[in-house]
Amino acid sequence: MENPARRDILKAGGLLGALGAFAAAAPARARPWRWSPSGSVPGTGSGADPRTVWDDEADPLVASLLDRGDVPRVNELLRSWTKNGQPLPDGLPDDLRDFLEHARRLPPWADPGLLETAVRFNEKRGLYLGVLYGFVSGMMSTVIPEEALAVYYSKGGANMKRRISRTAKLGYDIGSRNAYRPDGEMIVTSVKTRLAHAGVRNLLPRSSHWANLAPEDVPISQHDMMVTWHSLPTSVMRTLRQWQVPIPEDESRAFLHSWQVSAHMLGIRDEYIPATWDDAESQAREVLDPILAPTPEGQKLADMLLDLGRGLDFTLLTRPILGALTRFALGDEIADWLHIPREPVWGTLLDVAWGPFIAVREGLLPLPPAPEAYWTFDEFLRQFVLLYMSELRPISIEIPEHNNPN
Ligand code: HEM
């Protein structure tokens, strides 16, 4: 809802002051926040509505970096900081250094044993995770209205492949063998993302598009963060269950744990991070499922996403096939919102043969009932993993300095 007082604060400039004022002048919302912190990792919390909470450490820090003109220098310096155990580069401003040293620490509740088991899960399920992180979660993000708006009107919004690479980079890092170990990259990726989000919170409110369209004044609240979080692990787990992929209890728990840790490292308060899959489901039913809706921006982003394989040597990652996959994985309603036409051949093939294909791959059926379909699906998954490893991998996450110039 429009809040003129907050808009005036923004127009008057002074980012630090403005962010402080936002936190104080939180909008009254019609629908109360119900999810109880008793279902969170610590099992307790203030119960504050996460739509009124952003990141009170990173946001003022990045506001100050932007005000001081330090962002280009800081981005340049941080480019060489890639490994979790690597010392921070010399020359960073003191306030940023202090923040990073603090933000890079894993939470005390991070469980190394569970993180190890998560590696096993990721290795066993890597073939499915390629398509799920690399495409299905990205497609879902286009029907999360506030995220679609934020992404479309911020710096990287015009380039959907870049947007997918960011989720892919995170998915790749979290799934890698050394994710949270000193030689891994997940901590660095998460902390840099935290800074990038703080940049967006500072910059996007200056965009006239955002000011005219957005239902909230400052983007990427803790609530938005949890919505997007559910489009990742919760949606992945829902889809794997729907496909009847057998997942041992300890691996399912470990997969959740690796994403709980990542939520913390991204600056989400522990009181909003679900403790179990049941808690995650109850929160997703409250925050994710009811808010999915089409927007013109999301439709344009989805359109770009369907061309993900264009110009590349992946014969199965074509627009019609990716459209059929979207309809199959996310359902008719979302596919219709995104104006994705029905694809008779691939649509039918997925409807009829995907279930048996998974059963054969998982050793639950002895022989492929339709061998051609089996090998085609196997190749399809393999092409996603290759796309994921080659095209989508190498990105350097940076603090944006401006919005989408278009
Ligand atoms: C940037 C991941 C939540 C909007 C990024 C980046 C990553 C990331 C890895 C850096 C990529 C880059 O530099 O291009 C995540 C994860 C989230 C999350 C894992 C939740 C668990 C959100 C939410 C929104 C959002 C809730 C908006 C409502 C953005 C925007 C950028 C960004 C606008 C900057 C893109 C640009 O313009 O360059 N995010 N994000 N993110 N994220 Fe998020």
Closest CA to 231 of 188, 167, 169: 167
Work out which ligand 1 atom sits closest to the CA atom of 169.
Answer: 9
Residue 401: predicted pLDDT: 87
Residue 2 has pLDDT above 60, yes or no: no
Query: Where does the pLDDT of residue 219 fall: very low under 50, low under 70, confident under 90, or very high at 90 and above?
Result: very high
How many angstroms separate the alpha carbon of residue 201 from the centre of ligand 1? 11
How many angstroms separate the alpha carbon of residue 168 from the centre of ligand 1? 12
Amino acid at position 81, single letter: W
Quick: pLDDT tens for 237-267: 999 999 999 999 999 999 999 999 999 999 9
How many angstroms separate the alpha carbon of residue 371 from the centre of ligand 1? 40
* CB 292 near ligand 1, within 6 Å: no
* CB 392 near ligand 1, within 6 Å: no
Quote the percentage of the chain above a pLDDT of 70. Answer: 85
Structure tokens, 193: 């993302």
> Which range, 130-144, 166-180, 324-338, has the best average confidence (pLDDT)?
324-338
End-to-end, the C-alpha distance of the chain in Å comes to: 25
Query: Where does the pLDDT of residue 161 fall: very low under 50, low under 70, confident under 90, or very high at 90 and above?
Result: low
Query: Where does the pLDDT of residue 162 fall: very low under 50, low under 70, confident under 90, or very high at 90 and above?
Result: low
Distance (Å, whole) CA 302 – CA 360: 32
CA atoms within 13 A on the CB side of 113: 2
Greater confidence (365 vs 231) lies with: 231
Distance (Å, whole) CA 326 – CA 298: 14
Do 61 and 198 contact (CB within 8 A), yes or no? Answer: yes
Query: Where does the pLDDT of residue 66 fall: very low under 50, low under 70, confident under 90, or very high at 90 and above?
Result: very high
Distance (Å, whole) CA 300 – CA 124: 34
Rounded (5°) CA angle 277-245-372: 155
Q: Decide: helix, strand or coil at residue 274.
A: strand
Most ligand 1 atoms within 8 A of CB, residue of 195, 200, 269, 395 to mutate: 200
Helix axes 15-24, 58-67, angle to 10 degrees: 160
* CB 149 near ligand 1, within 6 Å: no
Residue 197: predicted pLDDT: 96
Q: State the complex-level ipTM.
A: 0.97
Give mean pLDDT, residues 55-74: 97
* CB 186 near ligand 1, within 6 Å: no
Distance (Å, whole) CA 263 – CA 272: 9
Residue 158: predicted pLDDT: 60
Mean pLDDT value across the chain? 86
Quote the percentage of the chain above a pLDDT of 90. Answer: 60
Do 349 and 373 contact (CB within 8 A), yes or no? Answer: yes
